[in-house]
Amino acid sequence: MKLSLAPMQGFSDQIYRSTLSHIGGVDVFYAPYIRVENGVIKPKSLADIAPDANSGMAVVPQVLTNNADELLLVADMVAQLGYTELNWNLGCPFPMVAKRRLGAGLLPYPETIDSILTEVDARCKTGLSVKMRLGYLSPDEVWPVLDVLNRHNIKEIIVHPRIGKQMYNGVADRSVLPEIVAKSAHPVAYNGDICTAEQAQNLLANNTSVTHLMIGRGLLCNPFLALEIKGHTLNGYTRRSQMMNFVGSIAERQLDRLQGAGHFLQKMTTYWEYWSQMFDDAHRAFKTVKKCRSIEEYTDKVQDIVLSWTLAVNRETKNG
C-alpha cells in the first residue's frame, strides 16, 4: 500500500513536506501545482521542488495547465531536476481556476484533454499521472474523460470522487470507484475523505485493486494518520512530544521565511485550523491560536495546548 500526501496549495510546500517526512508513514509527497505565465515557470515553483530542498523524500511535481506546450515545458524542467513523474491537475475546484478551463474546469472538455495528450504522448520526458475529479458540473463527465485517458500514456489516475462545483462540501462518492477501476486501462488511486485509519481500511477492503491512497486534509488534521493506517500506535506522551517537534519546526522555518509577526501569525493560524482537530476541544484550540497577537504569545499558547490539552478521543491510546 502506497500512501501519499496530496498537493495542497498554501499548505504542502517544501517546509511542510520535509517536516512531515520526519514523522513517517508517507511514501510519496505531491507538490502544489506549478503554473506557467507568459511562457515562464514561476521561480517560486521551481524553488519548492529544488532537489537539494527535497532530499530524502519521494516527491512528484504537479502542473496546472490546459496547454500542451506549457505541460511539456514543465515536464522538461522537472526532468532536468531529476524527477521521473509529473502529475497533471484536473481536479482543482476553485472558481478562479475552473472558469479558465483549468483543473476541474477542463473536465467538461474531453476533446481538449485528448488534443493535449496527443501532443504530449510522444514528447513528454517524464511519466505523466493525472489527478482528477468526477467532473466539474456533473459526475457523468468522468466517463468520456476516462475514455480519453485510456487511449494515452498515463502512469496513474488519482480520483477524487466529487465534482468541482461541490468544492469540498458533501461526501466523496466512493460507490463509483469500482466502476472507474473496471473501466480504466491504467492503475487507479483514491483520494477524498480519508480521516481515520478505519476509513482507509474499509475502503481498501472494498476495493482490493486500489494500492495507492492519497490523503490531503486528513493528514493536515492528523500528521500521524499515515502511521496509523500502517498499523503503528503512538501513546499520548510520544504523540505530544512528536507533535511539539512538528509544529515547532514548521513555525521556526516559516519564521525564517516570512517577514513580520503579522504574516507569520496569519500563516500559522491557517495550519491550526486543521491541527486543532488533534484536540478534544478543537474549536477552543483554534480560537486560542487565532487570538494571539505576538510570536511570544503564540509560542506560549501552542506549547500549553500541545503538552497539556486533552487529545481527541480517537487520537489518543489508553497509554496516553
3-state secondary structure 126-157: CEEEEEEEEECCCHHHHHHHHHHHHCCCCCCE
Burial of 176 (0-12, 13-18, 19+ CB in 10 A): middle
Question: Per-residue pLDDT averaged across 284-294, rounded?
Answer: 98
pLDDT of residue 313: 66
Q: Where are the beta strands (DSSP E) in the chain?
A: 2-5, 28-34, 36-37, 40-41, 59-63, 85-90, 127-135, 157-163, 188-191, 212-215
In the chain, the amino acid numbered 232 is H
Spatial separation of the C-alpha atoms in residues 5 and 127, rounded to whole Å: 19
What are the sequence ranges of the domains in the chain? Answer: 2-229, 236-315
Task: Encode pLDDT of 55-108 as tens digits.
Answer: 999 999 999 999 999 999 999 999 999 999 999 999 999 999 999 999 999 999
DSSP letter at 275?
A: H
The superfamily CATH assigns to domain 2-229 is Aldolase class I (3.20.20.70)
Task: Encode pLDDT of 226-283 as tens digits.
Answer: 999 999 999 989 999 999 999 999 999 999 999 899 999 999 999 999 999 999 999 9
Q: Where are the beta strands (DSSP E) in 136-222?
A: 157-163, 188-191, 212-215
The pTM assigned to this predicted structure is 0.95
Instruction: Decide: 199 and 193 in contact? Cβ < 8 Å.
Output: yes
